[in-house]
Amino acid sequence: MEYVGTHTPDGDEKMIEAAYQELLDGYLRSNHRKKVEIIERAFRFAKEAHKGVRRRSGEPYIMHPIAVARIASQEIGLGSTSICAALLHDVVEDTDYTVEDIEQHFGPKIAQLVEGLTKISGGIFGDKASVQAENFRKLLLTMSEDIRVVLIKMADRLHNMRTLGSMAPNKRYKIAGETLYIYAPLAHRLGLFAIKTELEDLSFKHEHPDIYREISEKIRESESRRSSVYSDFSKPIKDKLDELGIKYEAKARLKSIYSIYNKMESKHLPFEEVYDLYAMRIVFDCDDPSKEKGICWSIYAAITDLYQLHPARTRDWIVTPKANGYQALHLTVMGPDGNWIEVQIRSRRMDEIAEKGFAAHWKYKIGEGDEESELNAWLKTIKDILDNPEPSAIDFLSTLKLNLFASEIVVFTPEGDLVTLPSGATVLDLAFNLHSEIGLHCIAGKVNHKLMPLQTELKSGDQVEVLTSKSQMPLPEWDACLVTAKAKTRLRKGIRALRQPIVVKGNEILSAWLRDNDIEDNNFVITKIQGIFHVQNREDLCYQLGAEEIVLGDFLVKPLRKASQTARQGKSLFSKIPLIGKMVGSSAPEPEVKPEARPQEINTKQIYRLCNTADGPNYRLAGCCNPLPGDDVMGYIADDGSVEIHSLDCPQAQVLKAGFGSRIVATEWATGDELFLAHIRVEGIDRHGILQELMTLISTHLGIDVRKLDIEASAEVFHADLWVRVSDADVVDDLCRRTLAISGVTRATRIH
């Protein structure tokens, strides 16, 4: 933000008052108690505090808190306390007012929310990995104290995404990246489906504007055909429901642009072959919750009388709601055009929870006596992980994402209790979920009364009894058969606790041996010993010494004294050497870098031009996604100062955007004659001469150099993998289109 004067023009004043009135009108239409006076005071207070300040977009800064409050109120369904906190959420950080001032004017509850929002105001991530993890821990710990802090933060992020266009490109990539990496899955886990979908679409729009426009245009072009198909499909259903006397609302729910793109990418499909572009949603009115289930199944029966059911794609989320409170009955039937169409059946109450999130019905709204929900249990799981974070911040974020992204299964204990676990969870996951001690001493499980090993993957509906033995001890290999973050964290904590006495003993042996041989205990010496015994860190070295797996002998004395002497000689020089990109938690010594070898400083605020120089390319292509000119890419400034190029939607790029935002640089390709390696997969019906036609097209007609070819034919079907040298992504797209024109070829796609 920037200061642009002390007076607000009349036009700004009218715009601010109109936006505030819109917020107030929406609040007055809600079913919350009408506490207008305190909202009015919070607005006037925030307006005065932010007076004279504008956002990058040029509008008065107070428009942002008003917009956040409106999202919190009208799109999430929060009440007056949250509206006040949203209006005041930037006051403490951006002005001279303190949390104590807020408490004095508005009471302890609003002050507590504002303080929670101020704690996490810098975004989830900072410049260093340790700061990222710490900020993320703050966010999630605050969530377990009062979920409203995170919900208001969601509203704040949504408004920032809606106004992201005024930011510099590298900032857009960073914010869009962390939104996709953390905020969207967190919104999904909290049941904020509408917000989750919009966050994904906005992130996608800013990362891939051309593809976003292209898909949007194709959706518009196919609208009349879709409407016709939907009308033919829905009319018989509506007639049947009218006959039954059910009060309902039926509508077509279009798949989000981001979901369509994901399906096109993951299945290698063109837009025209994404048939499940829409689903039908039926929302019925029912005042008595006990009758909802019966009405759902009567609608189900009516639909299956009319259309052929897909038996494997029926989902009953009514009897067993999702962990975020989502309830509905989903079925998939064959439509009149021969394609499968999903139908979602919900009551009005279920629909409200699905759209605004179960969080809107949290116990602060219902009352303290409310029974503990699955969401509350999930927050406890998060807190459990926070108590024992991973030493590496990136591992910590990845561990948490295991829980954020997981789709769920439900299993039963022998007593009939339900336990919700991520898809893919094992017997051992369940054991750790029940209790640390059960997990640490687990030997096997009885799944549906059959004895099964620890690593057995569980399915929804399984009844599982965990078997334990006091003599069983946890093993590091168990980590490979765990899916849940809670289990991985508890296993590592248990193994560390078992190893600790041996590590302490080994450390004493190491210190005594170095002292007796007059060798200094420093980084150079320990690194040398680690290299000799092939261990990764000091803890593993001490463990092996304590467990008597290795022994320190006289043969070590000479090389270690030399290493110690080198360290002493290099100390004064080493202290003057500039450090480049030191990784958090690294135990290895920093390399000596001469001042003249330091890489040139790169301005992340400017667009970095990718080109060939006298010394070669001024970038390097990431091996994880193999980008080409023409792809949407970004630069990442690596530890050695070089610029590494990733596709914007590469999984590794998602981690980098979310975790190292200050190192992201916007890039553009310079035109040149450089060639790049691209991987293309071709599939089709095998016939005589098809390979010759393919090679003639590529090398003769198109003049493209083939570097490698793998082809396999089986049962009249062939699969070919080609590696070709091309100038840009357009050449690959053209090659795929022309290859598809060859008789018998059914698919030709680029593999990233």
Dihedral sign from CA coordinates of 106, 107, 110, 111: positive
Chain Cα centroid distance, residue 170: 19
**Could you write out the DSSP letters of every residue in 127-155?**
SSHHHHHHHHHHHHHHHHH-HHHHHHHHH
| Closest by CA position to 118, among listed 69, 164, 95, 58 | 95
Q: Report the residue count for the chain.
A: 752
Distance CA 200, CA 197 (A): 5
Residue 317 Ramachandran class (φ > 0 left, ψ -120 to 50 alpha, else beta): alpha
474: Cβ contacts below 8 Å, ≥ 6 apart:
439, 440, 491, 494, 495, 498
Sheet-wide strand order for 643-647: 620-621, 643-647, 633-637, 664-665
Cα 543 from Cα 500, distance rounded (Å): 8
Query: How many Å apart are CA 268 and CA 719, to the nearest integer?
Result: 15
SS3 491: helix
Q: Rounded to whole angstroms, how far apart are CA atoms 752 and 748?
A: 13
Q: Which of 93, 221, 640, 733 is catalytic?
A: 93
For residues 578 and 595, is the Cβ–Cβ distance under 8 A?
A: yes
Residue 158 phi/psi, 5-degree rounding, is: -65, -45
94 carries an active-site annotation: yes
Can 710 be counted among the known catalytic residues?
no
Q: How far apart are CA 563 and CA 484, in angstroms?
A: 43
Cα 43 to Cα 62: distance, rounded to the nearest angstrom? 9
Bridge partners of residue 634, in order along the sequence: 646
Answer whether 724's CB lies under 8 Å from 704's CB: yes
- Displacement of CA 61 from its chain's centroid (Å): 29
Cβ–Cβ under 8 Å, residues 629 and 687: no
Question: Phi-psi bin for 52: left (phi > 0), alpha (psi -120 to 50), beta?
Answer: left
List the Cα angle 512/513/518 in 5-degree steps.
Answer: 100
Taking each helix axis from N to C terminus, what angle separates 485-516 and 427-434, rounded to the nearest 10 degrees? 80
- Given the residues 12, 94, 395, 465, select the one marked as catalytic: 94
Report the distance separating Cα 735 and Cα 115, nearest Å. Answer: 57
**HSE of 375, CA atoms in CB hemisphere, 13 A:** 25
- Ordered DSSP codes for 660-699: -GGGEE-EEEPP----EEEEEEEEEE--TTHHHHHHIIII
Rounded to 10 degrees, the C-alpha dihedral 149/150/155/156 comes to 80
Tokens of 122: 């810098």
325, 352 Cβ separation under 8 angstroms:
no
Residue 59's CB is within 10 A of a number of other CB atoms, namely 17
With beta carbons less than 8 A apart as the criterion, state whether 584 and 130 touch. Answer: yes
CA distance 638 to 666: 14
Structure tokens at 585: 């938690």
Instruction: Name the 3-class secondary structure at 280.
Output: strand
3-class SS letters over 596-652: HHCCCCCCCCCCEEECEECCEECCEECCCCCCCECECEEEEECCCCCEEEEECCCHH
Q: Phi and psi (nearest 5°) for 604?
A: -70, -10
Residues involved in catalysis: 93-94
